[in-house]
Structure 1
Amino acid sequence: MAKELFYKQGIRATGVEELCRVAGTTKISLYRAYPSKDELIASVLREDCADEACWFEKAQSAGITPAEQPRAYVRAAAEAMRLHGYRGCPLGMAIVEFPDPCHPARKVADAYKLKVRDAIRQMLSAAGAADPEVTGDTLVLMIEGAFASAPYLGHLEAADSLERAGLRLLDTVLPQDAHPS
């Protein structure tokens, strides 16, 4: 319940009273499970991290060669954006709502975003990309830009743009023998 409310309404806009009402619980029960709203938020964001990690699992599943994994990752990110109701990355949205890097939500979101950046760079290196650090950062910026533009472009157009631009970038930096025929 909290995850859906935070995503639809915003984290700060969703009060503890509303969370309890929708969940059919009391504040006492909520605070037994989570010492504070901040800890509940961090817990929800950890779930979001696990959901997003599925993109890497798809990109690295059996039968997908290291050379094809970056393309599979871009396609998986675009596919996730095409889901009904997509409004942006919940982790990115939390980063915007909590400017203090010491806030528990920011710590979770920042750590995951940096982990993704490193994983993309490693994936590109294994695929033989030219300058995997710069290419990785460029791809991260494309993905984050697509996430951020979903509300005003529409999630389908943002996903399509990400897929086209991301695959075009990969075509320019991956070895020619890694390109699909």
Structure 2
Amino acid sequence: MTRGEPDTRPSEARLRLLTTATKIFYAEGIHSVGVDRIIAEAKVTRATFYRHFPSKDDLILAYLREVHQMDRGAVDAAIATSPSPVDSLLAIAGSIAQNVQSPGFRGCAFLNAAAEYPDTDHPVHQEIIAHRQWFLDTLTMLMAQVHEETADPAARHFVMLRDGAMAAGCLFNPALVSETFLRGIEGLLRINTERQSTESAR
């Protein structure tokens, strides 16, 4: 930052509040955690909390946007380091499988939040839908480079496999769930790659 420019960096207190909320919301749920708990664990005053987040909903939205940025970063990295669309999709699947096996895994933060905010008009629910639409759009773009005609159903199939792995990873052996998920994605990509090869050979 040069002299005379405004400091646009997030304040330490805001970062502490968001980090605390992200950890507790994911581990314990959103409705069960009150503002007082966040304030106490973040070690800030109530006035500081409300200066950064006028309501609990504002904090929840910031939490979901933070998780979205983490997910987006992982997907962008997978695409940037992969030589082909198929490799990108496999890398994305690999990142998901790794997440399922990570310590403290409690499923998809967005699916968990959707269960707590079913009202489609609520800003939190709309944030969830926006995240999922981004993920679907990204997969559809990649799938179109594998086999354009089946890109949409193939991308939706990927999302359903991913959602299943996220749910099952909390209930069953995470390593087995991850292996099953990856095999499903490999099969999906193999089918669509073969379709493209067959059509190109005609």
Does TM-score exceed 0.5, indicating one fold?
A: yes
- In structure 1, the residue matched to 2:94 is 75
Shift of 1:176: 7.5
Deviations 1:26-50 (A, max 9, x none): 2221111011000100001000001
Q: Secondary structure at the match of 1:60?
A: helix
What does residue range 19-168 of structure 1 map to in structure 2 within 5 Å? 19-128=38-147, 131-168=150-187
Q: Is the 8 A contact 2:146 2:192 kept in 1?
A: no
Q: Is the 8 A contact 2:107 2:169 kept in 1?
A: yes
- In structure 1, the residue matched to 2:34 is 15
Distance in 1, matches of 2:87 and 2:171, equals 31
Decide whether aligned partners of structure 1 residues 80 and 64 sit closer, same or farther in structure 2, where only a CA change above 3 A counts.
Answer: farther
**Normalised TM-score (structure 2):** 0.81
Tell me which of the two structures has the higher relative contact order, counting C-alpha pairs closer than 8 angstroms and 6 or more residues apart: 1
- In structure 2, the residue matched to 1:3 is 22
Q: Is the 8 A contact 2:140 2:154 kept in 1?
A: yes
Decide whether aligned partners of structure 1 residues 24 and 7 sit closer, same or farther in structure 2, where only a CA change above 3 A counts.
Answer: same
Q: Tell me the C-alpha RMSD between the 2 structures.
A: 1.8
Distance in 2, matches of 1:11 and 1:29, equals 20
5+ residue gaps, structure 2, are: 1-19, 198-202
- In structure 2, the residue matched to 1:173 is 192
- In structure 1, the residue matched to 2:9 is none
Moved more, 59-68 or 20-29: 59-68
- In structure 1, the residue matched to 2:11 is none
Q: Secondary structure at the match of 2:105?
A: coil
Q: Secondary structure at the match of 1:83?
A: coil
Q: Is the 8 A contact 2:106 2:170 kept in 1?
A: yes
Q: How many corresponding residue pairs?
A: 178
Larger radius of gyration: 2
Distance in 2, matches of 1:177 and 1:134, equals 15
Moved more, 9-18 or 72-81: 72-81
Distance in 1, matches of 2:153 and 2:129, equals 19
Q: Secondary structure at the match of 2:169?
A: helix
Shift of 1:59: 2.4
5+ residue gaps, structure 1, are: none
Q: Secondary structure at the match of 1:64?
A: coil
Q: Output the amino acid matched with 2:23.
A: E
